């Protein structure tokens, strides 16, 4: 109703479905400060910066207060301003204030708020005690010294990705955010997606830089350094230099890279076109045979690692295609040495990616030949922006330059890979022609486009129905995977992207707190598709020539060798045994019980307690060492335990006791 309004700072503001007073105030152009509020996450209300004064109620948090008609709200009274200022000063007192050298310096919300509130000195005694920085992950750096305990990273990892690789630990002044059991990020189930880094308001979690290594290669006269640019980079890098989100800056990016010293600049969209042909052919073969369906896409390395950790039984359903990044690296290392007149060991491939998980992917052992990585270094969009600044280039003044051939030629199908639904649509543009044998009149498959985390579409192609699911966010991927695992799905093709919105929302993109930015970047990719002459991967004559002269048949032996791979089950927690009983050394019988998710839901926690009770009741503590562990790679056969090296699947207390007594009697007899 038109009378449904709130009076904020003396102005009437219409209520139009806003969840809370914070959203309503921002709609009215009032920027209430906050650390812990994020539009994609649940309301948390921890930072207490978004306080407002409601007439008749007093001071409340605006993020957790729903708007009601007739409310009279003040957002900037003297009392509120003073409370906010003290809160920021207290945060600074417990913070590593090495701001000029912090990688988040240019986009740090704490710095921004300190400036806005005129905080020139901190009146409180510093309570900060330095703790080690975790640099073990190939993708991320975790610096607990800069954490403000806003919880954004914890909620993002749990709510959007459904993983929970980091969480709160400790109490009171000892509260901190940690990976499981205080381990490093590289030792837990982190998939390197970097969503935690993209929502972190400070420099507590940031993408791991590789800028210095790349500069070193560029300065080496014996090296040929080439770059590949991912589709989503061209619609986001401009934001770093003040352009509107979604502005296509491909020409300026090429010019900047050439000015920095790169010998050749190519387009990952070329490899995306390759992926369409290989993955589309693989899909049609599976559909024809009715085998290994649904087919999951495999372009997203964070999703692949997630599947390896949680759904190893579904790995045969993943496409065997490498991601476009890795296809490019493999093909470039195979073709470019001869073309550029350089030994392969002196050819350096640098990827410019919107994604932190690509750093992890490039270092996977599957993508090494003769000890050399197919892709040597991965720079995020943010890192490229820093390099351009460091080189003293004025990005908005650069004259656009062209990509190098042959790997610079692409179609719109390869470009739209960067947004959710784009991979599916690109494959459909290929599969539809292969099924019908008729050239497509319209290449748009708008049924697979959208923003919902789980979308379904049924596409009719020449009388054949293809049922498709498009997913972004790993919590959504888990829901779909569970349906497939339970036999409750009849999908043919499932596209999975880890980051919200797809690659356009990757953690390596410029930091933006505008919820519209991802949409504008996606629109930029679709606009780029429309502006190109060709929109189907099969129409890329450079790709076709590559098959003719180098790869042979699509899906053939050589193409499979260079462009495909395979994956295997992966432990979620490394070096993860936890002593629960015994553990004092000596020659004891070791009993390990898996307490991972799959075994836990099958009763391993109860079994563990029953075993400990049995051992204590029978006075075996001096002979038995009981540990909790996390994976025997038998997730479908739990609960699983090991007694003296004997693995027991679908274990019960009776089975465990039988083996336990047998092993102890054997030890006594020796």
Beta bridge partners of 72: 7
Q: How are beta strands 205-207 and 464-472 bridged, if at all?
A: unpaired
Q: Is 2 a catalytic residue?
A: no
Residues 6+ apart with CB under 8 A from 230: 268, 324, 325, 351, 352, 353, 354, 355, 418, 503
Q: Is 121 a catalytic residue?
A: no
Catalytic residue, chosen from 102, 190, 299, 546, is: 299
CB atoms within 10 A of CB 439: 11
Which value, to the nearest 10 degrees, does the dihedral of the CA atoms of residues 430, 431, 437, 440 take?
-50
Task: Give the whole-angstrom CA distance, residue 60 versus residue 71.
Answer: 13
pLDDT of the residue at 3: 66
Backbone angles phi, psi at 464, to 5 degrees: -100, 125
Q: Is 269 a catalytic residue?
A: no
Q: Is 16 a catalytic residue?
A: no
- Token pair listed for 107: 């986009």
CATH architecture of 87-207: 2-Layer Sandwich (3.30)
Check if the beta carbon of residue 579 is closer than 8 Å to that of residue 303. no
pLDDT of the residue at 17: 85
Residues 6+ apart with CB under 8 A from 167: 154, 158, 177, 178, 180
Question: In which residue are the tokens 């708007």 written?
Answer: 67
**Comma-separated ranges of CATH 3.10.20.740 domains in the chain:** 5-76
Catalytic residue, chosen from 503, 599, 631, 635, is: 503
CB neighbour class for 70 (10 Å; exposed up to 12, middle 13-18, buried from 19): exposed
**Comma-separated ranges of CATH 3.40.50.1780 domains in the chain:** 211-563
Catalytic residue, chosen from 269, 298, 319, 642, is: 319
**Comma-separated ranges of CATH 3.30.70.20 domains in the chain:** 87-207
Question: In which residue are the tokens 């929302």 written?
Answer: 505
How far is CA 277 from each of CA 101, 269, 351, 428, 563, rounded to the nearest angstrom? Answer: 45, 13, 22, 11, 11
Q: Is 436 a catalytic residue?
A: no
Q: Of 119, 52, 95, whose CA–CA distance to 201 is shortest?
A: 95
Catalytic residue, chosen from 189, 278, 279, 433, is: 279
**Domain covering 5-76, topology:** Ubiquitin-like (UB roll) (3.10.20)
Backbone torsion region of residue 463, taken as left when φ is above 0, otherwise alpha when ψ lies between -120 and 50, otherwise beta? left
CATH number for domain 578-669, candidates 3.40.30.10, 2.40.30.10, 3.40.50.720, 3.40.50.300: 3.40.30.10
Which value, to the nearest 10 degrees, does the dihedral of the CA atoms of residues 197, 306, 349, 205 take?
10
CB neighbour class for 614 (10 Å; exposed up to 12, middle 13-18, buried from 19): middle
Task: Give the whole-angstrom CA distance, residue 308 versus residue 305.
Answer: 5
Catalytic residue, chosen from 366, 516, 545, 616, is: 366
pLDDT of the residue at 621: 80
DSSP summary character for residue 579? E
Q: Is 319 a catalytic residue?
A: yes
**Domain covering 211-563, topology:** Rossmann fold (3.40.50)
Q: Of 230, 276, 234, 229, whose CA–CA distance to 524 is shortest?
A: 234
**Comma-separated ranges of CATH 3.40.30.10 domains in the chain:** 578-669
Task: Give the whole-angstrom CA distance, residue 12 versus residue 324.
Answer: 52
The predicted model scores a pTM of 0.84
pLDDT of the residue at 574: 64
pLDDT of the residue at 211: 97
Q: Is 358 a catalytic residue?
A: yes
Burial 303-334 (b: 16+ CB within 10 A, else e): bbbbbbbbbbebbebbbbbbbbbbbbbbbbbb
Residue spans of the chain under pLDDT 70: 1-3, 572-586, 670
Catalytic residue, chosen from 358, 359, 410, 536, is: 358
- Token pair listed for 515: 């919820």
Task: Give the whole-angstrom CA distance, residue 137 versus residue 188.
Answer: 10
- Token pair listed for 656: 């465990």
Check if the beta carbon of residue 177 is closer than 8 Å to that of residue 147. yes
Q: What are the E-state strand segments in 418-519? A: 454-461, 464-472, 493-497
Q: Is 594 a catalytic residue?
A: no
Catalytic residue, chosen from 282, 308, 425, 433, is: 282
pLDDT of the residue at 45: 76
pLDDT of the residue at 1: 47
Task: Give the whole-angstrom CA distance, residue 316 versus residue 215.
Answer: 40
Catalytic residue, chosen from 23, 210, 308, 361, is: 361
Q: Of 227, 238, 209, whose CA–CA distance to 268 is shortest?
A: 227
Check if the beta carbon of residue 267 is closer than 8 Å to that of residue 228. yes
Check if the beta carbon of residue 161 is closer than 8 Å to that of residue 505. no
């Amino acid at each position: 109703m038109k009378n449904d309004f709130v009076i904020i700072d003396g102005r009437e503001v219409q209520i139009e479905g806003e969840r809370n007073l914070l959203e309503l105030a921002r709609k009215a152009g009032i920027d209430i400060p906050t650390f812990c509020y994020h539009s994609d996450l649940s309301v948390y209300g921890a930072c207490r910066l978004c306080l407002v004064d409601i007439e008749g109620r007093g001071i409340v948090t605006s993020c957790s207060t729903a708007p009601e008609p007739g409310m009279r709200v003040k957002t900037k009274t003297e009392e509120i301003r003073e409370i906010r200022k003290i809160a920021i000063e207290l945060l600074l007192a417990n913070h590593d204030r090495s701001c000029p050298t912090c990688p988040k310096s240019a986009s740090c919300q704490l710095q921004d708020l300190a400036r806005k509130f005129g905080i020139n000195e901190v009146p409180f005694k510093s309570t900060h005690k330095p703790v080690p920085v975790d640099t073990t992950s190939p993708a991320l750096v975790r610096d607990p010294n800069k954490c403000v305990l806003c919880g954004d990273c914890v909620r993002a990892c749990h709510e959007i990705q459904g993983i929970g690789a980091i969480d709160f630990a400790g109490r009171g002044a000892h509260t901190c955010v940690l990976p499981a059991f205080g381990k490093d990020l590289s030792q837990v189930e982190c998939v390197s997606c970097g969503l935690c880094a993209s929502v972190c308001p400070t420099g507590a979690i940031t993408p791991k830089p590789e800028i210095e290594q790349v500069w070193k290669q560029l300065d080496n006269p014996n090296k040929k350094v080439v770059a590949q640019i991912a589709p989503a980079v061209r619609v986001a890098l401009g934001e770093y230099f003040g352009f509107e989100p979604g502005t296509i800056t491909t020409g300026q990016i090429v010019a900047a890279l050439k000015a920095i010293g790169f010998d050749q600049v190519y387009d990952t969209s070329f490899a995306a076109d390759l992926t369409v042909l290989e993955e589309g052919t693989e899909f049609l073969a599976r559909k024809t045979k009715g085998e290994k369906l649904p087919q999951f896409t495999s372009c997203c390395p964070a999703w692949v690692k997630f599947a390896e950790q949680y759904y190893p039984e579904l790995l045969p359903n993943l496409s065997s295609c490498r991601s476009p990044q890795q296809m490019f690296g493999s093909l470039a290392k195979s073709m470019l040495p001869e073309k550029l007149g350089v030994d392969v060991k002196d050819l350096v491939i640098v990827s410019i990616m919107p994604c932190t998980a690509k750093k992890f992917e490039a270092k996977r052992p599957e993508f090494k030949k003769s000890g050399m990585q197919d892709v040597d270094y991965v720079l995020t969009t943010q890192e490229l922006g820093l390099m351009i600044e460091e080189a003293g280039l004025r990005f908005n003044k650069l004259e656009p330059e062209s990509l190098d051939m042959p790997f610079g030629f692409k179609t719109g199908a390869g470009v739209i890979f960067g947004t959710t639904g784009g991979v599916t649509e690109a494959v459909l543009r290929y599969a539809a022609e292969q099924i019908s044998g008729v050239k497509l009149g319209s290449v748009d498959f708008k049924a697979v486009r959208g923003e919902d985390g789980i979308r379904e579409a049924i596409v009719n192609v020449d009388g054949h129905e293809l049922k498709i699911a498009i997913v972004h966010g790993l919590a959504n991927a888990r829901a779909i995977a569970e349906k497939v695992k339970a036999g409750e799905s009849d999908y043919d093709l499932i596209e999975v992207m880890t980051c919200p919105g797809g690659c356009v929302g990757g953690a390596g993109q410029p930091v933006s707190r505008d919820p519209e930015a991802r949409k504008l970047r996606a629109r930029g990719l679709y606009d780029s598709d429309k502006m190109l002459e060709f929109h189907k991967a099969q129409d890329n004559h450079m790709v076709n020539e590559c098959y003719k002269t180098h790869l042979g048949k699509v899906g053939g032996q050589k193409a499979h060798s260079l462009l495909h791979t395979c994956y295997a089950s992966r432990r979620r927690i490394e070096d993860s045994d936890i002593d629960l009983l015994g553990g004092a050394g000596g020659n004891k019988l070791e009993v390990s019980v898996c307490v991972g998710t799959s075994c836990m839901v099958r009763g391993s926690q109860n079994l563990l307690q029953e075993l400990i009770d049995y051992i204590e009741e029978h006075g075996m503590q001096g002979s038995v060492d009981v540990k909790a562990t996390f994976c025997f790679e038998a997730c479908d056969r739990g609960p699983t335990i090991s007694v003296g090296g004997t693995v027991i699947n679908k274990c019960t207390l009776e089975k465990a006791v039988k083996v336990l007594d047998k092993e102890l009697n054997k030890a006594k007899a020796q």
